[in-house]
Amino acid sequence: MRIKLLIPILLLFVVILACSGFPRGTGDLELSGTVTHSAPTPVDKIEAKEAIQTYALDVLGLEIPSLVAGGTSGALSLPVSLQDGVEVAIDLAGTTYFGVWLGGVSSLSFGDSDVSGDLIADIRDGSLGVFAVTVREAPPTDSTAALELIKQTYPALSDYEWIETPTEQGYSFVTGKAEDVALQSWSVELTGTTINVGVSSAVLDDQSLVWVVVASGVLATPFEK
């Protein structure tokens, strides 16, 4: 199989390789797409950590007990079909946090201006959450198993109806009527939300990479069809 040479120049990309068990220094990896972003202005690491952990638990049902976070440069592997939308949304955002933990990476962007310090208000005005988790399970062999693995990884998304969408690798899904989706977070209703989820092979053959992109408010605009 042909593989693409990718130099891991961004911190989070290096870490996700390590979390997936891929040897450091080899840099050989087949990707369907990589979203990158640089945030030159440092942000408070505690603030970033709390924002990512709270968002992950309340919106996705994902608990991240140990997290290293900040406003540093980062990279997340995503299907090419989502690449442009994520890049546009991150560019629209006033602040982007990146986080990494054992087996996962994340990016969380807020609004079109600096964060106010009121996490509820910032999420409501517009947010983009991108999370990718390496699961120690073999890649699913059909869409039913793929969706079940996604729901196990992100329990808060279990009640949504999903439509399978084409992807080059693995399986991906989108909410049935994205324009009608409303997330409940911190007792705040988030409207104009689009949710894309998927699963593909991780670096190691016996592991799966489960990802999700949740765009709300103003940052959902790049994903409207």
Q: Is a pLDDT exceeding 50 seen at residue 31? A: no
What residues contact residue 35 under an 8 Å CB cut-off, 6+ apart?
Answer: 75, 76, 77, 78, 82, 83, 86, 87, 90, 107, 130
Q: Is residue 174 included in any domain, yes or no?
A: yes
Domain membership of residue 5 (yes or no) is no
126: left (phi over 0), alpha (psi -120 to 50) or beta: left
- In terms of Cβ atoms closer than 10 Å to its own Cβ (0-12, 13-18, 19+), residue 177 is exposed
Instruction: Decide the pairing of beta strands 104-110 and 208-217.
Output: unpaired
Write out pLDDT tens, residues 5-14: 222 223 333 3
| Domain interval for residue 141 | 11-223
Query: How many domains does the chain divide into?
Result: 1
pLDDT at 40 over 50: no
What is the reported pLDDT for 142? 96
3 domain residue, yes or no:
no
Q: How confident is the model at residue 22 (pLDDT cuts 50, 70, 90)?
A: very low
pLDDT tens by residue, 123-157: 777 889 999 999 999 999 999 999 999 999 999 99
- Name 207's bridge partners: none
Task: Evaluate whether 123 touches 216 at the Cβ level (below 8 Å).
Answer: yes
- The answer to the question of residue 185 being in a domain is yes
Whole-prediction pTM: 0.80
Distances 165 to 15, 112, 168, 171, 200 between C-alpha atoms, Å = 29, 29, 10, 8, 13
Contact by Cβ (8 Å): 61, 154: yes
Please tell me the distance from the alpha carbon of residue 98 to that of residue 4, in angstroms, as a whole number: 25
Whether 89 is covered by a domain: the verdict is yes
Q: What is the pLDDT of residues 71-112, one digit of tens each?
A: 654 556 677 778 778 888 877 787 888 888 988 999 898 876
Query: Is 173 part of a structural domain of the chain?
Result: yes
160 inside domain: yes
Give a yes or no: residue 16 inside a domain. Answer: yes
